[in-house]
A and B are shown apart, each in its own frame.
Chain A
């Protein structure tokens, strides 16, 4: 009994320590985005949304944030198309050469040090005469997140009974109809979850982006550049915003996953042509 109490207590304190060291700095940033500091203490009388207002007037940061969102969404969409095609190919012909080759190649950008991926892309774009800018960043990110989307989609496809596709064909469905009515509805959840995950990866990708950025920086790259000149307090507001956004994404992801593991669900009920 006594021993157990002691154990409970030490476990609790370790947990507390971990959580505090993880979340205290974050909490501090959050607080500081609303209040100002005086002599090392938070001045609770100074609540204002001033830093947020300042943030939105800061064109450099605002543009960078927009770029990041744009790059993330575009890269995820591009990667989804290719990942879906690759996963369907790998699922329907698992022992074909193309599927096995793809299996290795698709993970390379994910496993290679980002600096190598970034550098190779940079050299490639330069040789090909493509100017650096948002499009090149989008390509870089799409290549990078392709693997994660592909893997999640393939896992789902492999869990689907092969005879579903057979049954659809048997009942007279063309390949396109089978894709639309059978495969795609079963890929909605995995597409959503892998999309969110991939977007999060793209959002904080720095190293590859550094090599591919022209004049339009993404947020991490902009922040990285700001280290040299020093940060202004609106950075706290920015971090607090991203934090809130991340929490929403995480909850959405957890919710989607929770539903996904349940039974089928009525994903494409009553689709009519």
Chain B
């Protein structure tokens, strides 16, 4: 089982996590959508749940929110078990993927709904709605109906509506999925800034790894109902534990099988079909299906930092603007590598069929196993 404490920068100085999940499982009939898992969400952090379609992200979020009864386990919020709390009493709010704005209510009525059902006095309600609309920049749109708003405006309305009751935690299920690329980037920045300034804890779901990297304090990678790895974006990017995480974060060159040849203080020497390499750090605990994962951008001409070397034949070169992607092949084993380098206007691209001396940094590759847990 994944260690929830791993790589949490905040874990050390915050005693109790805001949300503490232990052995939580969920099933649909015979389908185990979430296998019993542990997860801690710290107060004030931006935690992203990342995983491919069908990995159980939505189900996990819905179980936390209370829409989906858990089949096992406990959920604690602020130290209190909330398993038996009905949805409308849970002390946090959700931003839905389809926004779920009430079509028959104006933006103002939508945003104020949470206060209205709590019986907040009219004057106070209006003030707080004004404040929330101000935060998301929708002051001028308060009399419109959701059908009269753009995608981004609907998104902001949903956000304001979820924030109006000042929850300490907001759950967001792929809130940006429906937006086009430019608007999406804009909203990513907006969300991140909002989260930092408000101090509200965000539990955010996405299947887009670049979105997860740019926005999160920590990322929790899910795979078929289990947590594969939790860590900071840098940890997952540079130190993936499994092939799955490595592939998800773009370390697409996988060399296998790997055998540990020697373990030193600061490095591990591995034996692979394409040569012997030095890898920074200790070997993983398990060695089942051990493989070496190398990022395409870690490969480059051999030099004093790229001390692990290979002789590779050029198969194809494609120029994609700022970067050049070179397909390489190891002659004896036919193992294929992809190399991504910065395009150099002065350099002539290598000839197809030529042999290059390629190297990579021991710190820019990772030993990965079949599964992280």
Chain A residues engaging chain B, CB cutoff 8 angstroms: 161, 163-164, 166-174, 177, 181-182, 185-186, 263-270, 272-273
Contacts and interface: CB of A to CB of B under 8 A. Distances in A.
Nearest to B117: A173
Given A170-B93, A172-B114, A173-B113, A267 B67 contact: no
Given A168-B117, A174-B88, 20 more contacts: A161-B98, A163-B96, A163-B100, A164-B102, A166-B87, A167-B94, A167-B100, A168-B113, A170-B65, A171-B93, A171-B113, A171-B117, A172-B114, A177-B117, A181-B102, A181-B116, A267-B104, A268-B104, A269-B105, A269-B109
A264 B117 contact: no
B95 to A, nearest CB: 9
A170 B119 contact: no
B39 to A, nearest CB: 20
Interface string B67-109: 1000000000000000000111110011010101111111001
25 contacts: A161-B100, A163-B96, A163-B98, A163-B100, A166-B67, A166-B87, A166-B94, A166-B100, A167-B94, A168-B113, A168-B117, A169-B88, A170-B94, A171-B93, A171-B117, A171-B161, A171-B165, A182-B102, A186-B104, A265-B104, A266-B104, A266-B106, A267-B104, A272-B122, A273-B119
Contacts of A263: 103, 145, 147-148
Q: Range of interface residues on chain B?
A: 20 to 34
B17 interface: no
Contacts of B147: 263-264
Contacts of B36: none
Contacts of A177: 117
Chain A at the B interface: SS class = loop
A181 B113 contact: yes
Q: Among B65, B96, B105, which residue has the most Cβ atoms of chain A within 10 A?
A: B105
B146 interface: yes
Interface of B: 65, 67, 86-90, 93-94, 96, 98, 100-106, 109, 113-114, 116-119, 122, 145-148, 161-162, 165
Interface centre among B98, B116, B146 (most CB of A within 10 A): B116
Contacts of A186: 103-104
Nearest to A186: B104
Contacts of B65: 170
Contacts of A173: 88, 113, 117
Minimum-distance CB pairs A-B, first 9:
A163-B100, A167-B100, A264-B103, A171-B114, A169-B87, A263-B147, A173-B117, A264-B104, A185-B104
A174 B117 contact: yes
Contacts of A182: 102
Contacts of A164: 100, 102-103
Contacts of B93: 170-171
Contacts of A266: 104, 106, 145
Nearest to B89: A172
Contacts of B101: 167
A80 B89 CA distance: 32
A172 B118 contact: yes
A65 B215 CA distance: 70
A268 B145 CA distance: 12
Nearest to B94: A170
A160 B36 CA distance: 33
B117 A172 contact: yes
Contacts of B114: 171-172
A44 B90 CA distance: 77
Contacts of B94: 166-167, 170
Contacts of B86: 169
A272 B145 CA distance: 18
A170 B104 contact: no
